[in-house]
Amino acid sequence: MMQEQQANDYRTLSSLKNALLALKCFTADEPELGITQIAQALGLSKSTVHRIMTTLAEEGFVRRDEQTHRYRLGLSVLSLSGIIMSNLEIYREGQHLLEEFVSRFDETVHLAVLEDYSTVYVSKLECKHPVKILTHLGKKNPLHCTSSGKTILAFQSDDMIEEVIRRGLPQMTPNTITHAEELKAALENIRTTGYAISRSELREGVHSVAVPVRDYTRQVIGAVTVVGPASRLTDGKMKAIARTLQSIGKEISNRLGYYERRQSIGNPT
């Protein structure tokens, strides 16, 4: 016996945790879920999940479809994310610059930030091309196989880089960097050129370019990244885009309080 639950922290609420995990069951591909489905996913009883969903529905975090009696996310979460966005500095400062970029290049551009050991898109502006890449706001991606991830990682501490390597570099496509040394070389290269590129490293046929964004502490906290089909994002095009992105990245960084040092690279104080 004992508690079968995982290490029953006295400081957390298991019922709340279950509810949050239930919310996380919803994905872009599966936006509508039934009780049983969620119960199985979480290993909980149907009645428990039912109570969770009823409560979530009461507060507008999910919506019960009157026909199918299945659930989808509700508008309360929209409201919360609106609050985040209007207070996330990098978002506020970046938005217009990204809009300008899209109207000039007509390629989809994102703003990504570091969260734990992933990148998270905090802003996305779509191009008008019919060929779309499936990403969305809040989408998490690994650090080692995306241009935004590599850009951010390149400027983190050695400890952080080692930790990422220790956690493993899963192979997503034949192009994914899976060896530590190869990754380190790539990061070194990013530090010198100031931008990162991914050619089908996360998904076959999807290329991307990214540049770092720094805040007033001079730390790299995010990246501006353009993602698109390999057919459009050729090496030449990506280089051209990289130049523009670099000036956008610098502008956003400046607005976040970053000021460029005169010379003296790698000289603290």
Q: Give the footprint of a copy of itself on this chain (CB under 8 A).
A: 11-13, 15-17, 19-21, 23-24, 26-28, 31, 50-52, 54-56, 58-61, 72-87, 95-96, 103, 113, 115-116, 120-122, 124, 126, 128, 136-140
Residue 157's binding partner, choosing from a copy of itself, DNA, none, with beta-carbon cut-off 5 to 8 A by kind? none
Residue 199 has φ and ψ, to the nearest 5°, of -110, 100
As measured in angstroms, the least distance from the Cβ of 92 to DNA is 25
Residue numbers of the site for DNA (CB under 7 A)?
A: 3, 5, 8, 10-16, 18, 34-37, 44-48, 50-54, 64, 69-70
Alpha-carbon span 125 to 108, nearest angstrom: 6
Residue 87's binding partner, choosing from DNA, a copy of itself, none, with beta-carbon cut-off 5 to 8 A by kind? a copy of itself
Q: Taking Cα atoms as reference points, which of 214, 196, 209 lies closest to residue 251?
A: 214
Alpha-carbon span 114 to 244, nearest angstrom: 22
Maximal C-alpha separation, the chain: 66
Concatenating the DSSP letter of every residue in 208-241 gives EEEEEEE-TTS-EEEEEEEEEETTTS-HHHHHHH
User: What b/e sequence results for 87-101 when a residue is b if at least 16 CB atoms lie within 10 Å of its CB, and e otherwise?
Assistant: ebebbebbeebbeeb
Closer residue to DNA (CB): 43 or 174: 43
As measured in angstroms, the least distance from the Cβ of 228 to a copy of itself is 17
Closer residue to DNA (CB): 11 or 262: 11
Residue 199's binding partner, choosing from a copy of itself, DNA, none, with beta-carbon cut-off 5 to 8 A by kind? none
Residue for token pair 């790698």? 266
CA atoms lying within 13 Å on the CB side of residue 84: 11
Residue 36's binding partner, choosing from DNA, a copy of itself, none, with beta-carbon cut-off 5 to 8 A by kind? DNA
Closer residue to a copy of itself (CB): 30 or 235: 30
